[in-house]
Amino acid sequence: MSDDSSRQQTQKDLLWGMYTDIRAHARHAETWRANAVNIVLVVSSALIAVIASDGQVKRDELPVSLLLVFIGFIGLAFAAAYTELYQRNRYRAEHLRAVLDERFFTAGDPSLVEVLTTSDTLHQAGTFYRWTRRLTGSTQRFWLVVPSLVLVTGITLVFVAA
């Protein structure tokens, strides 16, 4: 009996450790994505300031405009890649949480999924949540907006400078 209890505790500890590790990887991907978008924003702001410093866009600013397109493209690719990485780790963690629920929350206590669903339902019923979701849509897509705007701005400036 003790061996079975010890085995179950070991399984629970391993699953919980994997769950927390994968969630940490997801948070790490979120941090990298946020940093990349921040860097794109800072660098593109500096490039736009250089382009617009004289009040007009001239042909000799074409290389800087092309650099802005490159920064926007790289930023968009980086944000998309780290969004995918975050999603992969989030789905892995949700699967591990489901396994934990299935194996260790069978005694009538609410499962982890039930607790989270109740919490999410209360949160999503709020006016602020509905307003922000209408405004921004998914937060995953929102992270792609800034690099996309930089890319579009760069392309526009290339055409103006050319």
The whole-number pLDDT of residue 49 equals 93
Domain count, the chain: 1
Q: What is the pLDDT of residue 154?
A: 93
Q: Which domain holds residue 84?
A: 2-161
CA-to-CA dists, residue 45 to 35, 38, 158, angstroms: 15, 11, 16
Of residues 11 and 92, more confidence is placed in 92
Tell me the HSE value of 92 on the side-chain side, using a 13 A CA sphere.
Answer: 18
| pLDDT single digits (tens) 65-108 | 999 999 999 999 999 999 999 999 999 999 998 888 888 877 77
CA distance 116 to 93: 14
pLDDT at residue 46, rounded to an integer = 95
Q: What is the pTM of this model?
A: 0.78
Q: How far is CA 132 from the centre of its chain?
A: 16
139-161: per-residue pLDDT in tens? 777 788 889 999 999 999 999 98
Largest CA-CA distance found in the chain, in angstroms, rounded: 81
**In the predicted structure, residue 138 carries a pLDDT above the cut 60:** yes
Spatial contact of 157 and 68, defined as CB atoms under 8 Å apart: yes
Who's near 92: CB < 8 A, 6+ residues apart?
22
